[in-house]
Amino acid sequence: MIYIAPSILAADYAALGSDVRKVANADLIHVDIMDGHFVPNLSFGPDVTKAVNNVTEQFLDMHLMIEQPEKWFETYVGAGGDRLVFHVEATSDHVGAARQAHDLGVQAGFAVKPGTSIEPYLDDLELFEEVMIMSVEPGFGGQKFMPEVLDKVRVLRDRIAEAGLGTIIAIDGGIAETTIAHAAAAGVESFVAGSAVFGKDDPAAAVENLRLLAEQAR
Ligand code: DX5
Ligand code: ZN
């Protein structure tokens, strides 16, 4: 299954509700939370998450680019988050963090920066509904896709298949018409796209076009 996840980081914040409604055809909404410490930028927090949750029934994938993510789990579940995707670089206990998310009744995911190796986490994949491979340095939208991270996608894809797991491989950063096919061919199932969706005049059409390109490449 292909999932297209528009990132509201690239939406018009003065018209956020209307922008979210424009991508009602998307499979989920990607919510980028930045704390100005883990990444050199700030985005928004629980109140904006709640406001988004109030205008859509869509699944909210919470991309937590924050230090000490576990401290915020309950808050983001209360705000409507459906999956907590924390960075392994931000915690010393990814297994405990996954359990905490599950105890709160939501899904767990982990994200890795481009320079972070995936090997230390391969034995724990069964605890995660999603693994998010960053294809740019986290912090900003509109950056250039880093194709070298697809090696990690292939390793993950093989391990997930061998172990018979349902873990979804997601990719985040620089996904657009020109890059999505490469990622899909490597084994990505869930595609985050910010500027390639909200930077277009017709975001819903952009979602459909990306979905088609991904489906054709798989
Ligand atoms: C970057 C964020 C991304 C961002 C992607 O740190 O995690 O989700 O919105 O933006 P694009 O799709 O424009 O690269
Ligand atoms: Zn993100």
User: Is 30 labeled as ligand-binding?
Assistant: yes
pLDDT band, very low/low/confident/very high, at 26 (cuts 50, 70, 90): very high
Active site residue 32: yes
Give the ligand 1 atom nearest the CA of 141: 10
pLDDT band, very low/low/confident/very high, at 75 (cuts 50, 70, 90): very high
User: Is 195 labeled as ligand-binding?
Assistant: yes
pLDDT digits (tens, 9 = 90+) for 47-62: 999 999 999 999 999 9
Among protein residues, the one whose CA lies closest to atom 7 of ligand 1: 138
Give the ligand 1 atom nearest the CA of 142: 13
Contacts 24+ apart (CB under 8 A), 95-104: 95/124, 95/127, 96/70, 97/69, 97/70, 97/73, 98/124, 98/127, 98/128, 99/127, 100/70, 100/73, 101/73, 102/127, 104/73, 104/74, 104/77
Percent above pLDDT 70 for the chain: 100
User: Is 63 labeled as ligand-binding?
Assistant: yes
Of 27, 35, 82, 172, which is the active-site residue? 172
Give the ligand 1 atom nearest the CA of 9: 9
Mean per-residue pLDDT, 104-129: 98
Question: Of all residues in the chain, what percent are helix, strand and coil, respectively (each to 5)?
Answer: 45, 20, 35
pLDDT digits (tens, 9 = 90+) for 176-212: 999 999 999 999 999 999 999 999 999 999 999 999 9
Rounded to 5°, the CA angle 173-93-62 comes to 35
Question: Residue 132 and residue 137: Cα distance in Å, rounded?
Answer: 13
Other beta carbons within 10 Å of 162: 9
Of 32, 35, 61, 82, which is the active-site residue? 32
Active site residue 172: yes
- Please tell me the pTM assigned to this model: 0.98
Mean per-residue pLDDT, 143-165: 98
Distance 34 CA to ligand 2 centre (A): 9
Question: Residue 118 and residue 202: Cα distance in Å, rounded?
Answer: 36
pLDDT band, very low/low/confident/very high, at 13 (cuts 50, 70, 90): very high
User: What pLDDT is attached to residue 99?
Assistant: 98
Q: 134 is written with which tokens?
A: 């960053």
Question: Residue 115 and residue 122: Cα distance in Å, rounded?
Answer: 16
DSSP state of 149: G
Q: What are the structural domains, with CATH classification, of the chain?
A: 3-217 (3.20.20.70)
Q: 74 is written with which tokens?
A: 């309950």
Place of tokens 């605890």: 127
Distance 10 CA to ligand 2 centre (A): 10
User: Is 87 labeled as ligand-binding?
Assistant: no
Distance 134 CA to ligand 2 centre (A): 8
Mean per-residue pLDDT, 38-55: 98
pLDDT band, very low/low/confident/very high, at 16 (cuts 50, 70, 90): very high
